[in-house]
Amino acid sequence: MLGGASPASPLVDGPAASAAGGLTAGGVPAAPVVYVVGAWRRTAAGLLDALVLLPVLLLAGSVLSWIVPHATAQPPQQLRAEVLVEMLLRGDPLFVGVLLLLTLLGTLYQVLFLASFGATPGLRLVRATVIDAYGLRPSARRVLLRCVGQALGLLPLGLGLLWTAFDAEKRGLQDWLAGTYVIRRTSASGAPAQRPSRGEPARGA
């Protein structure tokens, strides 16, 4: 479904569940409700994270602009996009090395923030967070799997990432691979976030 609020099956018991979702008529803790984040908010978070990383990316770009001419014996003004793509396809070691450096920086950025805080600065600014199937912050291993899923999702013209706009749980390839969900940040009460249930009606975020 294109819209996004998913009532979750309770993954915790006792006072935490009661505080999150209240009690049913029979005194049983009710399932808390979470709101999954859609493609637009994810895109905004990604752009904000890119701004955070911009100084590092500019530094890497300056290194790239120095390395590539030395590797190709061509002046920088002749290094058009098609030349750079050709270098990538033929596996120029220096050029590929800089790309790997950029990939490493982006991966470390996500592992640091998602595994430690559950959200990157961009996600925090749009009031979103990443959880695993237990409603907890994703482990470093899950974050690494998520990064692999993002890379794979870019290959088929970005369809793996765009799938979040059509998936009932607003999950892209990276989320399915890592077992993660991107949801709205919980209230200040600190009630634990829960895993959205499949097949439930959802309201977009």
Say how far apart CA 140 and CA 153 lie, in whole Å. Answer: 20
- DSSP bridge pairs for 129: 183
Residue 35 placed within a domain? yes
How confident is the model at residue 33, as a pLDDT? 73
Residues 77-125 have pLDDT tens digits of 455 556 666 666 776 666 677 677 788 889 999 999 999 999 999 999 9
Nearest to 45 by CA among 124, 134, 114, 107: 124
Count of structural domains, the chain: 1
For residue 183, is pLDDT > 50?
yes
How confident is the model at residue 156, as a pLDDT? 77
Residue 189 placed within a domain? no
How confident is the model at residue 51, as a pLDDT? 92
Query: pLDDT confidence of 189, banded at 50, 70, 90?
Result: very low
Residues 1-54 have pLDDT tens digits of 334 444 334 333 333 333 344 555 555 555 567 789 989 999 999 999 989 988
Residue 41 placed within a domain? yes
For residue 63, is pLDDT > 50?
yes
Say how far apart CA 191 and CA 186 lie, in whole Å. Answer: 7
Helix axes 81-89, 93-117, angle to 10 degrees: 90
How confident is the model at residue 200, as a pLDDT? 41
CB 34 within 8 A of CB 193: yes
For residue 139, is pLDDT > 80?
yes
Residue 53 placed within a domain? yes
Instruction: Tell me which residue range forms the domain holding 29.
Output: 5-184
How confident is the model at residue 202, as a pLDDT? 40
How confident is the model at residue 80, as a pLDDT? 57
How confident is the model at residue 11, as a pLDDT? 38
Query: pLDDT confidence of 69, banded at 50, 70, 90?
Result: low
Residue 130 placed within a domain? yes
Residue 193 placed within a domain? no
How confident is the model at residue 84, as a pLDDT? 61
For residue 161, is pLDDT > 50?
yes
